[in-house]
Amino acid sequence: MALKVLAVDDSKTIRMIVKKAFKTYDCEVIEAENGKEGLETASKEKPDLIVLDITMPVMSGPEMLEELMKDPDLKEIPVIMLTAESGKENVVQILKMGVKDYMVKPFKGEQLIERVTKIITLESKQSEDQDTSKKYFSIVEDIQILTLPQKLDRPISVEIERHFRAKVEEMVNSGIKKFILDMNKVGGTNVTLIKLIITVIQTCQQANIGIRIVGTSGLSDELKGFAETSEITVDLSIEDAKGAF
């Protein structure tokens, strides 16, 4: 059964960052905009963990925590406090409140997950994970092929990069030495695509894996317009790429 995480923050930005951090785990992230709303949601949903901001209008994090502690049904729910203030005085105050842990903003999603895993056990959405991997990766003969989608935005790029790193590890272990990055479906270039191409090329080179890039002539011309990809040779078909290895 999916774990429930309650994110209480008046900033939609922070709630989105928290939600994204848990995206690959079997977790449902519920949101509340202030302590009052957070308390109501906690009573109704009985979350497994609360990620709680300190400074909020209507009811602050410490005020909500105080109410939580008074409620026998809610007082055992672990709380991670979010704070923009890293000063000693503030940290001591937070720890005195009885929270399990705290995070100082700015923080990365993975840093939050690292803290969370010390408190609750998170499980990856494995079956879904494997399915998304199959969307982009395939093996033909002794070649690993990554087929990029028509539109590559940042979340998809992050997902592909995660799968890619796992695939490279598998390739090294199984002795596969050829990789094709197939961009024939890609509709146009953007910074996210360029960054991904560079990452793929550099990672393959570091792992001693031969790499060929496949794409349309239009895409090839567009790549020449970016300093980072201007020197890349693009094959027009998978067959051409295979022949070039």
Q: Which residues of the shown chain bind another protein in the complex (CB under 8 A)?
A: 10-14, 16-17, 20, 55-57, 83-90, 105-108, 153-155, 158, 190, 192
Residue 81 or residue 143: which is nearer to another protein going by CB?
Answer: 81
Residue 56 or residue 160: which is nearer to another protein going by CB?
Answer: 56
- Give the C-alpha separation, 111 to 102, whole Å: 11
Which pair of structure tokens corresponds to residue 164?
């890619």
- CB of 147 vs another protein, minimal distance in Å: 20
Residue 16 or residue 209: which is nearer to another protein going by CB?
Answer: 16
- CB of 217 vs another protein, minimal distance in Å: 25
- CB of 81 vs another protein, minimal distance in Å: 13
Residue 103 or residue 143: which is nearer to another protein going by CB?
Answer: 103
Classified as helix, coil or strand, 56 is coil
Strand partners, 79: 50
- CB of 155 vs another protein, minimal distance in Å: 6
Write down how long the chain is: 245
- CB of 36 vs another protein, minimal distance in Å: 15
E strands present in 84-190? 101-104, 137-140, 143-147, 178-182
Of 187, 184, 176, the residue nearest 213 (C-alpha):
184
Residue 65 or residue 152: which is nearer to another protein going by CB?
Answer: 152
Residue 16 or residue 238: which is nearer to another protein going by CB?
Answer: 16
- CB of 161 vs another protein, minimal distance in Å: 12
Question: What are the b/e assignments for 115-137, b being 16+ CB within 10 Å?
Answer: ebeeeeebeeeeeeeeebbeebb
- CB of 204 vs another protein, minimal distance in Å: 22
Which residues neighbour 71 within 8 Å (Cβ) at sequence distance 6 or greater? 43
Distance of CA 68 to the CA centre of its chain: 30
Which residues neighbour 118 within 8 Å (Cβ) at sequence distance 6 or greater? 101
Residue 15 or residue 212: which is nearer to another protein going by CB?
Answer: 15
Which pair of structure tokens corresponds to residue 13?
């930005």
- Give the C-alpha separation, 165 to 199, whole Å: 10
